Amino acid sequence: MAKTSEKLALLEPLWDKAIQSPSSVTLDEKHQILEWPTMAIMQANAQKHLNLSVDVLFHKAATNPDSLTYPECLLMDNDFRIMNLLDQAKYSNDRLRWETERPDLSEKKNQARAIVLSPVEAKAFANLRDDNIFFPKQMAYYAALQAKRKPLTMPRGWIRNVLDQEGEVKTFGFLFYHPKDQENSLWEKFREKFDEFLKEPMFSADGFDLIEEFKVAEFVEFESPNPDNLDILRE
């Protein structure tokens, strides 16, 4: 996949070959001209992510583009590569930059691409670029994702659990166990410090303001023959 104008220019001899002698272009050269991965990778990506073969996808796009799903459109638009959102944006920006920096090369590239595409492939990509196909499906796809998300104003699940506690007294917070025979003055100092800490906002989660006043800290003494052995707390 050419990513710079310099790398793009290295493909110029192949574009010339496609324009001057299209019948002599090999399958590997065709994929280089179209910036496609190998057919094996294309088939693997289409099968894994769409459960379709490349031929079936092209036929679907050429004959019934309205039936295309957004993931099907996206795989074709990304030249059968699997990319994250950042890579997709960079790939698209690279293509636009090529056209701006070297319009002469872009024209030759597009001419060569049009020549090496089969009639079905050409029709499939022409349909994909239709204003009524790719963009509306993209918008509908992201709108559906957004609709599934909970509004930002909804409390998070753990906050809702606090609010849903039965009874008038609702609490959440921290429970500290300490051996009974440890020096109480140290624990008292820690408790005083922690009480000050509890007065400060602790989380930025949506809905936390609803339970801010329910924060508590409890300090529980326990007796154990061996203060260093905490197994008694696990029983």
In angstroms, the CA 62 to CA 122 distance is: 8
| Per-residue confidence (pLDDT) for residue 51, from 0 to 100 | 95
| Per-residue confidence (pLDDT) for residue 150, from 0 to 100 | 58
pLDDT digits (tens, 9 = 90+) for 160-202: 777 787 777 677 777 777 777 666 777 788 878 877 777 777 6
Contact present, 172 and 164 (Cβ < 8 Å):
no
pLDDT digits (tens, 9 = 90+) for 72-120: 999 999 999 998 878 878 877 777 777 787 788 888 889 999 999 999 9
In this prediction, residues 135-158 reach a mean pLDDT of 75
Under 8 Å CB-to-CB from 97, ≥6 apart: which residues?
Answer: 5
| Per-residue confidence (pLDDT) for residue 1, from 0 to 100 | 45
Per DSSP, the three-state class of 222 is strand
Buried b (16+ CB within 10 A) or exposed e, 164-178: eeeeeeeeeeeeeeb
How many Cβ atoms sit within 10 Å of the Cβ of residue 49?
Answer: 14
In this prediction, residues 196-224 reach a mean pLDDT of 73
Question: What is the residue type of 120?
Answer: V
In angstroms, the CA 36 to CA 148 distance is: 34
| Per-residue confidence (pLDDT) for residue 166, from 0 to 100 | 76
Q: Is the pLDDT of residue 227 over 70?
A: no
Candidates 103, 99, 94, 109; CA nearest to 14 is 109
In this prediction, residues 21-25 reach a mean pLDDT of 94
In angstroms, the CA 74 to CA 88 distance is: 9
| Per-residue confidence (pLDDT) for residue 49, from 0 to 100 | 93
Sign of CA dihedral 56, 59, 64, 68: positive
Stated length of the chain: 235
- Domain coordinates of the chain in residue numbers? 5-148, 157-234
Q: Is the pLDDT of residue 153 over 60?
A: no
pLDDT digits (tens, 9 = 90+) for 53-63: 999 999 999 99
